[in-house]
Amino acid sequence: MFLSTPTPTPALTPTPTPSASPASVLDPGVQDLLNMGAGLTKGCGDGGGVICDVVQTLVPVSWAAPVIASVIAIALIVTIAMVLRKVAHRLIERVVRRASSGRTSLAGRLRGNTAPPEGLDMIVAERRRQRAETMGSVLKSIASIIILGTAVLTVLDRLSVPIAPLLTSVGILGVAIGFGAQELVKDFIAGMFMLLEDQYGVGDVIDAGPAVGTVEAVTLRITRLRDIDGRVWYIRNGTITRVGNESQGWSRATVDVSVAYTSDVPAVRDLLKEVVGEVWDDPAFRAVIVEEPQVWGLEQISETAVIFRVSAKTLPAKQAEVAREIRIRVKAALDRADIPIAA
């Protein structure tokens, strides 16, 4: 009887446990930060830039260098953007101050070499100041949008965020908003040109088509008018196709004097010249009349009357006041001279 020899059982070899890499030991949040830092600096070793080279020299830890370099780069971008924005605003303010303090005297041009009245120059200076400040505000907003928008795109690019899809989305959104807000854009563009061209300002009496009244406010979108009955009109700038300004630069007061047909024409003309000369020499009205009043002579002739016309250039919106004063003095002068007024 043969005894079988038992087959030896092979010894079990222990499976080696994989060693943990340094990256896997880190927290997942830290790992994401490291990945972002590596993307920020484009490798921070292969053409990473001056910041990367300096940070790698100063910071011995290899994983921290990209993060520090990226933070420094973003901080520099934001700082440069804010400095440029401040400089742009300073330049715009300087231009606005220079534009609002123009030394051209409109009254001097109207009255030649005589001393100009202060009233007209003050009105012109105030209109110029308001227009310059409004345009300065618009330019500041545009400069801020351009500079800060460029800074944001640069930071996103530094963060390795693809900005092409973002720009595409913004472009599509801009087109959609543009189609939906055509009237609003039209109002803003029309308002900017109205301010640049100084078509009218606060205090002017204008005929804007839908309404006639005194301008109380002018913005880039609307113009607010108050008519003679006290109603307030809000007119969109884009709907104003023509404007009649009754009080820009200077106004004209015209007075028609109707006397009997049998009156002595030369005597009446001389009397009217004397009256307007008194008004011109009156200190109370010299400040609002920019040119010596004139007697134009006979304006109309009828079977019962002859009509003389008197004209005077005045400050804006002061023509009614001057016309009333001339009528009062003409009436008194005709009564003293026993010259009948025709019906």
Q: What is the pLDDT confidence band of residue 65, given thresholds at 50, 70 and 90?
A: low
What pLDDT score was predicted for residue 100?
A: 73
Q: What is the mean pLDDT of residues 264-273?
A: 91
CB under 8 A, 24+ apart: contacts of 85-93: 85/143, 85/144, 85/147, 85/148, 88/140, 88/143, 88/144, 88/147, 89/140, 89/143, 89/144, 92/136, 92/139, 92/140, 92/143, 93/136
When the pLDDT of each residue in the chain is averaged and rounded to a whole number, the result is: 77
What pLDDT score was predicted for residue 106?
A: 45
Q: Which of 192-196, 278-282, 291-295 has the lowest average pLDDT? A: 192-196
Q: What is the pLDDT of residues 173-232, one digit of tens each?
A: 777 777 777 888 888 888 888 877 878 877 788 898 888 998 888 888 889 999 988 899
Q: What is the pTM of this model?
A: 0.53
Residues 59, 65: contact at Cβ < 8 Å? yes
Q: What is the pLDDT of residues 113-134, one digit of tens each?
A: 444 445 556 666 776 777 777 7
Q: What is the pLDDT of residues 148-170, one digit of tens each?
A: 988 888 888 777 777 787 778 77
Residues 310, 296: contact at Cβ < 8 Å? yes
Q: What is the pLDDT of residues 320-338, one digit of tens each?
A: 899 999 999 999 999 999 9
| Residue 108 predicted with pLDDT over 50 | no
| Residue 313 predicted with pLDDT over 50 | yes
DSSP-based three-state secondary structure for 324: helix
Count of CB atoms within 10 A of residue 58's CB?
9
What pLDDT score was predicted for residue 270?
A: 92
Q: Which two tokens stand for residue 147?
A: 């500079």
What pLDDT score was predicted for residue 89?
A: 92
User: CA 103 to CA 238: how far, in whole Å?
Assistant: 33
Q: What is the pLDDT confidence band of residue 49, given thresholds at 50, 70 and 90?
A: low
What pLDDT score was predicted for residue 105?
A: 46
205 half-sphere exposure, CB direction, 13 A CA radius = 12
Domains and CATH numbers, the chain: 26-180 (no CATH), 189-245 (2.30.30.60), 251-336 (3.30.70.100)
Q: Which of 84-98, 109-123, 214-228, 308-322 has the lowest average pLDDT? A: 109-123
DSSP-based three-state secondary structure for 338: coil
Q: What is the mean pLDDT of residues 77-82?
A: 91
What pLDDT score was predicted for residue 269?
A: 92
What pLDDT score was predicted for residue 228?
A: 87
Who wins on pLDDT, 291 or 126? 291
